Amino acid sequence: MFDFDATLPLVAIQFLLLVVVLNAVFFKPLSKVLSDRQDYVSSNNTEARERQDKAKRLAQDYSEKLSSSRRQSQTIITDAQTAAQKQSSAQVAEAQRKLQEQATSIQLELEQQKQAAFSALEKEVDTLSQQLLKKLLGPELAR
Amino acid sequence: MHFGSLLLNSFELQHLLPSAKLEVGHHLYWQLGGLHLHGQVFITSWIVIGLLLIASFAATRNVQRIPSGIQNLMEYALEFVRDLTKNQIGEKEYRPWVPFVGTLFLFIFVANWSGALVPWKLLRLPEGELAAPTNDINTTVALALLVSLAYFYAGFKKKGLGYFAKYVQPTPVLLPIAILEDFTKPLSLSFRLFGNILADELVVGVLVLLVPLFVPLPVMLLGLFTSAIQALVFATLAAAYIHEALEGHGEEGEAH
């Protein structure tokens, strides 16, 4: 069981050769593959992270722009609304004033016509009553 | 130490269950210019190395940004050993040690599981038997000595000769223990792995010998578990020792 002979050094040399050969055909190429993949993954990862940051920044930018334009539109709407309000109230006031004027002028005219009608009527009443009187009392008495 | 064969002879079952033969200490000897080699260790370790290389080539042949199939599996393995090394050695200095610790883990893991999963017995050898490379003491001692060399190299490279200061750092009284540690580390590393894997294969072998069906299955599952744990422990301890050499004296990375 314990017979040492030339097997020992030859196995040792053989093993060292195996180390050299495996280093050339196994350890080096596959380590390179692994480190390359590591580099690839990490570079992709940083790239993706950068892109994500960029996208986030863009989204924030856009949302800021959106909210500012929304605010702008709000102010425009309120401005327009107040302007329209003002205009409409001015127009309403103008119309009311005109209406008032017309109403007063019409009333005045009405009053004048009433006056005229009354005076005409009074004259008629006078003549009628004169005639009545003449008829009743006779023409000579009436004078 | 012909433990297994001894056991067999006592049961006299060899003729009955030829697939449940147990052999420890029998080796397929190869001659290489006067050197004795354990052939079965090399055969299985070549298969293990071949598996690792095929998996690596298949994983890196056509790399995708989104991994799938074998590339995913091998990336998982790489991340596992990288995290293991990082946890032990620390964020700052772990990088150059990933191939060493990672190869330790992968080789031991695949070797252990090959011993547990591949039915080596179906391949007959003229002598000895195929098994996990890690159940031969030569392999585990070789790996443990490499770990020792690695942490000495790490220490000297970081601090030069100042590395020796750690032997007398808190107090020179501990000098013998500090020196002893350099011997016990590879010893415990190698024997832990060797003992666990060999014992696992022996237990499975003995159980298969006694009850060939179903009963060995839980033990085999346990064997898979211990095999994985031993690979993890070996690699973790190697990284911990390297960390210790880089840091100077300090925490003890002892596990079981």
Interface confidence, given as ipTM, is 0.80
Helix H, strand E, coil C: the string for A11-70 is HHHHHHHHHHHHHHHHHHHHHHHHHHHHHHHHHHHHHHHHHHHHHHHHHHHHHHHHHHHH
Q: Which of B1, B28, B36, B38 to mutate to test the interface with A (most CBs of A within 10 A)?
A: B38
Q: Grade residue B181 by pLDDT with cuts at 50, 70 and 90.
A: confident
Q: Grade residue B240 by pLDDT with cuts at 50, 70 and 90.
A: very high
User: Do residues A86 and A94 make contact, with C-beta atoms less than 8 angstroms apart?
Assistant: no
Q: What percent of chain B has pLDDT over 90?
A: 30
Please compute the mean of the pLDDT values over residues B100-112 and round it to a whole number.
92
Q: How many CB pairs under 8 A join A and B?
A: 115
Do B60 and A25 lie within an 8 Å CB cutoff?
A: yes
User: Do residues B23 and B128 make contact, with C-beta atoms less than 8 angstroms apart?
Assistant: yes
User: Do residues B202 and B210 make contact, with C-beta atoms less than 8 angstroms apart?
Assistant: no
CB nearest B75 (choices: A16, A18, A30): A30
User: What pLDDT is stored for residue B237 in this prediction?
Assistant: 93
Q: Grade residue B254 by pLDDT with cuts at 50, 70 and 90.
A: very low
Q: Which residues of A touch B (CB under 8 A)?
A: 1-12, 14-16, 18-19, 21-23, 25-27, 29-31, 33-34, 36-37, 40
Q: What percent of chain A has pLDDT over 70?
A: 98
pTM above 0.80, yes or no: no
What is the C-alpha separation between B217 and B204, in angstroms, rounded? 9
Q: Which residue has the higher pLDDT, A78 or A4?
A: A78
Q: Grade residue B163 by pLDDT with cuts at 50, 70 and 90.
A: confident
What is the C-alpha separation between A61 and A49, in angstroms, rounded? 18
Tokens of B171: 């107090």
The DSSP annotation for B58-110 comes to HHHTT--SS--HHHHHHHHHHHHHHHHHHHHH-TTT-GGGHHHHHHHHHHHHH
What is the C-alpha separation between A43 and A51, in angstroms, rounded? 12
**Chain segment B75-91, per-residue pLDDT in tens:** 899 999 999 999 998 88
Scanning every residue of chain B, which has its alpha carbon at the shortest distance from the alpha carbon of A35?
B65
User: What pLDDT is stored for residue B131 in this prediction?
Assistant: 81
User: What pLDDT is stored for residue B11 in this prediction?
Assistant: 45
Helices (runs of H) and strands (runs of E) counted in chain B: 7, 2
Look at residue A92 and tell me whether its pLDDT is greater than 60: yes
Look at residue A76 and tell me whether its pLDDT is greater than 80: yes
What is the C-alpha separation between B247 and B81, in angstroms, rounded? 21
User: What pLDDT is stored for residue B12 in this prediction?
Assistant: 46
Do B103 and A19 lie within an 8 Å CB cutoff?
A: yes
- Chain B residues with beta carbon closer than 8 angstroms to that of A9: 142
User: What pLDDT is stored for residue A80 in this prediction?
Assistant: 96
Q: Grade residue A77 by pLDDT with cuts at 50, 70 and 90.
A: very high
Please compute the mean of the pLDDT values over residues B163-179 and round it to a whole number.
82
User: What pLDDT is stored for residue B252 in this prediction?
Assistant: 44
Q: Which residues pair with B30 in a beta bridge?
A: B37
User: What pLDDT is stored for residue B21 in this prediction?
Assistant: 53
Cα–Cα distances in Å, from A53 out to A56, A72, B74, B121? 5, 28, 38, 66
CB atoms inside a 10 Å sphere around CB B41: 30
Q: Tell me if chain A has a CB within 8 Å of the CB of B37.
A: yes
Look at residue B198 and tell me whether its pLDDT is greater than 90: no
User: What pLDDT is stored for residue B13 in this prediction?
Assistant: 44
Q: Tell me if chain A has a CB within 8 Å of the CB of B21.
A: no
User: What pLDDT is stored for residue B25 in this prediction?
Assistant: 65
User: Do residues A1 and B32 make contact, with C-beta atoms less than 8 angstroms apart?
Assistant: no
Residues 83-142 on B with a CB inside 8 Å of A are 98-100, 102-103, 106-107, 133, 136-139, 141-142
Tokens of B170: 């808190």
User: Do residues B85 and B232 make contact, with C-beta atoms less than 8 angstroms apart?
Assistant: no
Helix (H, G, I), strand (E, B) or coil at A138: coil
Scanning every residue of chain B, which has its alpha carbon at the shortest distance from the alpha carbon of A13?
B142
Buried (b) or exposed (e) across B143-179, using 16+ Cβ within 10 A?
bbbbbbebbeebbeeeeeeebeebbeeeeeeeeeebe
User: What pLDDT is stored for residue B23 in this prediction?
Assistant: 61
Tokens of B42: 């090399």
Q: Grade residue B10 by pLDDT with cuts at 50, 70 and 90.
A: very low
- Within chain B, strands assigned E span 29-32, 35-38
Distance from CA of B98 to the nearest CA of A (A): 8
Contacts of residue B108, Cβ cutoff 8 Å, sequence gap at least 6: B134, B143, B193, B230, B231, B234, B235
Look at residue A45 and tell me whether its pLDDT is greater than 90: yes
- Residue B254 — left, alpha, or beta (φ > 0 → left; ψ -120 to 50 → alpha)? beta
Look at residue B67 and tell me whether its pLDDT is greater than 70: yes
* Average pLDDT in chain B: 81
Please compute the mean of the pLDDT values over residues B155-161 and round it to a whole number.
86
Do A22 and B106 lie within an 8 Å CB cutoff?
A: yes
